[in-house]
Amino acid sequence: MNTDKGIFAYLSDWLTEPDKILLEYYSETFTQAQFREKVLKTAAFLKENCPSDSVAIMLPNIPEAFFAVYAASAAGLTANLINPRLPTGTLKRILRKTGSGIVFLYDKLLPRHTETLKELGVKAVLCSPFYYRKPLKFLYSLSKIRRKADYFEVINGFEPIEPETGKGSDAAAFIHSGGTTGEPKTVVISAKALNELERAVVTSVHPDPATIPPDGGMLMMLPVFHGFGLGISAHTIACHIRVVLEPVFKAKEAARMIKRRNITHLAGVPSMYRKLCEENSFRGRKLANIVRIFCGGDVLSPEIKDKFDRILSRYGSPAEILEGYGLTETASVVTVNPAGASRKRSQGKALNGNRIKITADGRELPPMTAGEIEVAAVSLMSGYFKDPAATEKAVYTDADGVRWLRTGDMGHVDRDGYLYFSERIKRSLKIAAINVFPSEIEAVSVTVKGVSGACAARMTDSNGKPYVRLYVETEGGAELDGALKNAIRKKIASSVMRYAVPREIVQTENIRLTPLGKVDYLYYESAARRGDGTRTD
């Protein structure tokens, strides 16, 4: 397939069976033909009404989010993907920076953002996660009199248009990230990057196309506003099998959908797989349908992988969790473990067309030597939006014309080319001149019986020396007593090393997570600096 075109044009090349189901959302299904019609009617609306080059999409995983992303492409616009949980001040900053003139908005959020949208002159198109859900659809219909900007009221007045083909260099999406420097950044992902990502993933994971189940489907647990969700669960999957939407991840609901919807593929973060392991309903013979499972976004502990893989094996699935490594700047995945040849604690080998290397002070290091991870990916970002200085700092072109990303992550590769991620460079610390990695401490801590969540926060004592404070969420809110603290310390000392044992272990009601399910360590570290680091959430 030609990847030098817009993402809707590229996806359309794969949609050759009009009556085949492409998208599922609870009791509602959309065939390829119905999906195209919704997208092109939405694109017609955007063509006539969007005053800018981008359209903001601030939605959970609901059909309208899918329609809007591809409608932006069909209309020659950029999809500006925004986390629905962001406060109105952050939304204002993003909209001012990007200039989006229309926002597809989760309707319950309108009161929170009304003044901001009015101030900026941004038109809202309201969308509800309840519209397709019976009997909630009836309750939704009763309130429609108040929904003058309702998606269906707006879109139904338009006829499908002839879509823009676009170019691969067109900006397909804006994704908002901390960036490799830790500062807020808007990452520009081109259409070609997403299209090449599909090719790299599928040819690496399913080198024989016959291994892709024709009636297969992926449960989309990851949010569409994140690179992992957009690049893998949405664009890559939609080119081949059904996408089954889950608005917000809940383990019990995910387990039910996996068994009822003939789910063959999963993509998620470690916390999702841990919760599925703990869910009693994640059992049964229908798990045998699962053939591929991908994990990224955070460090996966071997204990969680082993437990999850054992459950699948017990019920006849040939799959195992295949851990990978990626960044928003690469539209998600760069490396992944090969099926049948995965290695514990490794994030696998580079996808077809990608390259990785480990460097220090501009020099490439030999295998088994720790340094900064650099990647040359077919899905590398175009750059940071309106920030050439930050782009130049993160991306460089070598003497052979290859573009490389300085990731800001530490790790090494083994002699067979498998990548081993250690930690964000800025998050790692040295204790007694020994590198200590907080994410490794967290991964081990949650394997201790009685611990349901953990966050290792970097602290500094009165002498300016760093140490680790471990925040712990206990199962059922049980008391974090001396016995449990000792068990945690013993496990860390034996599984990692004694220098990684936390100086302090404190209890918190719920471990705070980012929208993608990562531990929000910055929250705990900043709270400690404010003097309220031991409070519960």
Query: DSSP string spanning 68-119?
Result: HHHHHHHTT-EEEE--TTS-HHHHHHHHHHH---EEEEEGGGHHHHHHHHHH
Positions of the chain with pLDDT under 50: 145, 533-537
Query: Would you state the pLDDT for residue 536?
Result: 36
3-class state of residue 19 by DSSP: coil
Portions of the chain given CATH number 2.30.38.10: 350-424
* pTM score over 0.95: no
Q: Where in the chain is the domain with CATH 3.30.300.30?
A: 429-530
Q: Which helix (H) or strand (E) is 443 found in, with range? A: helix 438-445
pLDDT of the residue at 299: 83
Pinpoint the residues of the chain covered by CATH 3.40.50.980: 30-166
Q: What is the pLDDT of residues 93-122, one digit of tens each?
A: 999 999 999 999 999 999 999 999 999 999
pLDDT of residue 145: 45
Residues 449-487: pLDDT tens digits?
A: 999 999 999 998 888 788 999 999 999 899 999 999 999
* Helices (H) then strands (E): counts for the chain: 17, 27
- Cβ neighbors of 79 (< 8 A, separation 6 or more) are 54, 55, 57, 68, 69, 72, 73, 172, 173, 174
Residues contacting 529, CB < 8 A, separation 6+: none
What is the topology classification, in CATH, of domain 30-166?
Rossmann fold (3.40.50)
Assign residue 284 a region: left if phi > 0, alpha if psi is -120 to 50, beta otherwise? left
- CA atoms of 118 and 125, how far apart (whole Å): 13
For 436, the token pair is: 């200590």
Written as one string, the DSSP assignment of 117-159 is HHHHTPEEEEE-TTTTSTTHHHHHHHTGGG-TTBHHHHHTT--
* Beta-bridge mates of residue 421: 411
CATH of domain 429-530: 3.30.300.30
Q: The tokens of 52 are what?
A: 């800018």
Q: Enumerate residues 6+ apart whose C-beta is below 8 A from 192.
A: 3, 4, 168, 169
The CATH T-level fold of domain 350-424 is Luciferase; domain 3 (2.30.38)
The tokens 């300016």 sit on which residue? Answer: 464
| Token digits of residue 375 | 């990647």
Return d(Cα 66, Cα 52) in angstroms, integer.
Answer: 20
Residue 198, phi then psi, degrees to nearest 5: -55, -45
